[in-house]
Structure 1
Amino acid sequence: MITHIVMFKLKDRSPESVERTAQVLRDMEGKIEELRYLEVGKDVLHTDRSYDIALVTKFDSLEALNAYQVHPVHQKVIEHMTEVREASVAVDYES
């Protein structure tokens, strides 16, 4: 299994903006066959080093992760994230 984690720091860090973007990420659930697990977490500490949202996803294989990356639903999410994010970091590992 492949675990794919992305953390996002948003340009607008207001609670409304964070929730709106978290919902965009949650809305992928059930719409991408390769996506086996999806969890979206919103930061609760709000420190200077905090990122606003964490996305945790799981896939059966690297091939499934690659299919997710180009899926039309995920591509729409990428468009949204490109507009609203200040920064992002990611890690992918076998689990």
Structure 2
Amino acid sequence: MLTHIVLFKLNDKSEETILKTKNLLLGLKEQIPCLKFIEVGVDIVHSERSYDIALYTKFDSMADMETYQVHPAHLKVLEHIKLVKEAAVAIDYES
């Protein structure tokens, strides 16, 4: 199994932008069959080092994650992310 985690820091920290981003990410589950698990969390501490949104996903294999990366639904969400993100960090590991 492969775990893919991304943390997003947003330029616009309004509730509307955060909820829209969260819902777009969660909507990927119904659109991408190889996405085995998805969880999206919104930061509640708001410290200086906090990121605003955490994406936690699982795939059966690296090939499935690569399929996810180029899936049209994922690419559409990435268009939104590029407009609203200040920064992002990611980690991918076998689990």
Query: What's 2:53 paired with?
Result: 53
Match of 1:7 in 2: 7
Q: What aligned pairs does 1:15-34 form with structure 2 within 5 A after superposition?
A: 15-34=15-34
Please say which of residues 30-39 and 11-20 is displaced more in the overlay: 11-20
Give the gaps of 5 or more residues in structure 2.
Answer: none
Residue of structure 2 in register with 1:36 after alignment: 36
Between Structure 1 and Structure 2, the one with more helix by share is: 2
Residues in 1 aligned to 2:29 and 2:76: alpha-carbon distance in whole angstroms: 14
Q: CA deviation at 1:15?
A: 1.8
Paired residues, number: 95
Query: RMSD across aligned C-alpha pairs, in angstroms?
Result: 0.6
3-state SS of 1:46 partner = coil
TM-score (norm 1): 0.97
In structure 2, the residue matched to 1:86 is 86
Structure 1 segments of 4+ aligned residues over 6 angstroms from their partners:
none
TM-score w.r.t. length of structure 2: 0.97
